[in-house]
C-alpha cells in the first residue's frame, strides 16, 4: 500500500460531522467551534513495547489509541468531537491497516468523533492520536479543585488492566473467563466519557487513572495542594481480578498498575446521592475510597493499618521504569 492508499483508508474511519469545514485531504483541517464553547485538546502517543505489546492486534490498537484520549477528555468533562492521527508503521500491510481503521472507527463513531487529519510515516510501530473536544460550557473539571473534607471516589474497578497486561505477557495465569475479561480491560478500555460529562458541576476535581490509582491520586492531591487518605478495603476490585490473585496482590495491581482509564474524583459529601444517581443512570458503579485531608501526602490504609503500594506508577524517565 502507498501512503495515499493508507490515507484513503483512514478517510472513512470515524464519524461524519457537519462542523468539519475541511477534513482529510488539504494541508490542514478546519472545524467550526460554536460561539461561547471552549476547545479542549489532548494527545497521547502509544509506542510498541512501551505502551502495548508489539503483538497487539491492530483492531485493538485502533480502539485503544482513541480510548486513552477519550479518557483524558472524560476527566475534563468535555464532549469529544475531532481527532487527528499520526501513524508510524514499519510496513504498509493492508490487512493491518484495515483492522486498525475498523477498531478506531468503531469507537469514533460511537462518540461521534470525526477523523480530520494526521500524518503517516515509516518507522517503528507507534500510534499518536490527538483529540479535540468541547467543554460543557466555559467550565471544565480540573485536577486542582479538591478541598479538605471532600470524599475521594473512583469509577468502575481498578487493577484489571495491569492484570490483563501481565496475562498478555505471560507473567501470570488465569482461567479462560477471567483472562478474557482482564485482557479486554487492557486492550479495549472504556473511557468514562458520559460519566465525566455528568460530573461537571457536581465534583471539585477529577483525573483519569492511567498510571495507577496511587500515582494519579497523588497527582490530583498535588494539583489541589491537599493530602489524601485512601481506604484500601473500599477500592473496587472486579470479581475477575479477585479470582486470579490474593487480595493484597489485587490491591497492589489496583494501586500501582496502570491503564484502567477510570475516573478518580473529589467531591463534597453533600454530593453523594447525586454521584450515585449519575453512576446508576449509566449502569455503572462509583466507589467512595477516601477523604481529602490537609497536608500533601497520599496515605493508604488497610483496615486501620498503614499500607504501602509496591510501586508508585509508571515513569518514563526513571531507571527501571518497567510497566
Which residues of the chain form contacts with Mg ion (CB under 5 A)?
Answer: 27
The closest alpha carbon to 103, from 34, 186, 13, belongs to 13
Distances (CA, A) of 83 to 80, 115, 260: 9, 5, 22
Asked if 150 and 292 touch (Cβ cutoff 8 Å), the reply is: yes
Smaller CB separation from Mg ion, 30 or 277? 30
Residue 165 phi, psi dihedral angles, 5° rounding: -65, -40
Among 16, 25, 53, 90, contact with ligand ADP (rule: CB under 6 A) = 25
The closest alpha carbon to 210, from 233, 196, 189, belongs to 189
Rg (CA), the chain: 20
Annotate each residue in 118-147 with x if it binds ligand ADP (CB under 6 A) or - if it does not, as one string.
xxx---------------------------
C-alpha to C-alpha distance for 162 and 310, rounded to whole angstroms = 14
Q: Smallest distance, Å, CB 322 to Mg ion? A: 39
Q: Smallest distance, Å, CB 12 to ligand ADP? A: 11
The answer to whether residue 101 forms part of the interface with ligand ADP (CB under 6 A) is no
Annotate each residue in 188-227 with x if it binds ligand ADP (CB under 6 A) or - if it does not, as one string.
----------------------------------------
C-alpha to C-alpha distance for 72 and 70, rounded to whole angstroms = 5
Smaller CB separation from Mg ion, 115 or 220? 115
Among 18, 27, 91, 303, contact with ligand ADP (rule: CB under 6 A) = 27
Smaller CB separation from Mg ion, 29 or 129? 29
Q: Which stretch binds ligand ADP (CB under 6 A): 111-119, 178-186, 192-200, 287-295?
A: 111-119
Q: Smallest distance, Å, CB 28 to Mg ion? A: 8
Q: Is 107 helix (H, G, I), strand (E, B) or coil?
A: helix
Task: Restricting to residues 244-283, name those near ligand ADP by CB under 6 A.
Answer: none
Query: Strand 79-89 vs strand 114-122: parallel, antiparallel, or unpaired?
Result: parallel
The closest alpha carbon to 6, from 66, 86, 70, belongs to 86
Smaller CB separation from Mg ion, 32 or 119? 119
Smaller CB separation from Mg ion, 27 or 294? 27
The closest alpha carbon to 317, from 50, 43, 128, belongs to 50
Q: Is 104 helix (H, G, I), strand (E, B) or coil?
A: helix
Smaller CB separation from ligand ADP, 115 or 165? 115
What residues line the site for ligand ADP (CB under 6 A)? 7, 10, 24-27, 85, 87, 115, 117-120
Amino acid at each position: 500500500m502507498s501512503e495515499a492508499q493508507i490515507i484513503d483508508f483512514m478517510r472513512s474511519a470515524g464519524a461524519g460531522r457537519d462542523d468539519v469545514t475541511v477534513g482529510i485531504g488539504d494541508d490542514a483541517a478546519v472545524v467550526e467551534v460554536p460561539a461561547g464553547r471552549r476547545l479542549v485538546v489532548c494527545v497521547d502517543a502509544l509506542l510498541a513495547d512501551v505502551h502495548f505489546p508489539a503483538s497487539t492486534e491492530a483492531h485493538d490498537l485502533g480502539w485503544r489509541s482513541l480510548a486513552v484520549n477519550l479518557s483524558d477528555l472524560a476527566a475534563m468533562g468535555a464532549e469529544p468531537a475531532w481527532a487527528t492521527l499520526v501513524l508510524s508503521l514499519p510496513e504498509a500491510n493492508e490487512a493491518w491497516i484495515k483492522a486498525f481503521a475498523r477498531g478506531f472507527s468503531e469507537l469514533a463513531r460511537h462518540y461521534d468523533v470525526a477523523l480530520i487529519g494526521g500524518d503517516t510515516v515509516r518507522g517503528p510501530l507507534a500510534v499518536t492520536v490527538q483529540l479535540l473536544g468541547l467543554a460543557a460550557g466555559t467550565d471544565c473539571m480540573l485536577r486542582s479543585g479538591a478541598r479538605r473534607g471532600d470524599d475521594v471516589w473512583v469509577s468502575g474497578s481498578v487493577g484489571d488492566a495491569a492484570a490483563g497486561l501481565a496475562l498478555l505477557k505471560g507473567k501470570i495465569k488465569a482461567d479462560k473467563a477471567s483472562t478474557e475479561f482482564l485482557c479486554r480491560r487492557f486492550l479495549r478500555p472504556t473511557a468514562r466519557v458520559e460519566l465525566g460529562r455528568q460530573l461537571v458541576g457536581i465534583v471539585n476535581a477529577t483525573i483519569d487513572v492511567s498510571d495507577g490509582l496511587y500515582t494519579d491520586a497523588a497527582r490530583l492531591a498535588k494539583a489541589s495542594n491537599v493530602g489524601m487518605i485512601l481506604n484500601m478495603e473500599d477500592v473496587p476490585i472486579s470479581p475477575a481480578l479477585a479470582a486470579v490473585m490474593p487480595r493484597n496482590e489485587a490491591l497492589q495491581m489496583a494501586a500501582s498498575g496502570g491503564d484502567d482509564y477510570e475516573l478518580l474524583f473529589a467531591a463534597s459529601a453533600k454530593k453523594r446521592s447525586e454521584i450515585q444517581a449519575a453512576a446508576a443512570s449509566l449502569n455503572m458503579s462509583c466507589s467512595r475510597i477516601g477523604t481529602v485531608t490537609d497536608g500533601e501526602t497520599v496515605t493508604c490504609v488497610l483496615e486501620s493499618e498503614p499500607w504501602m503500594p509496591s510501586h508508585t506508577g509508571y515513569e518514563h524517565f526513571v531507571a527501571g521504569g518497567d510497566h
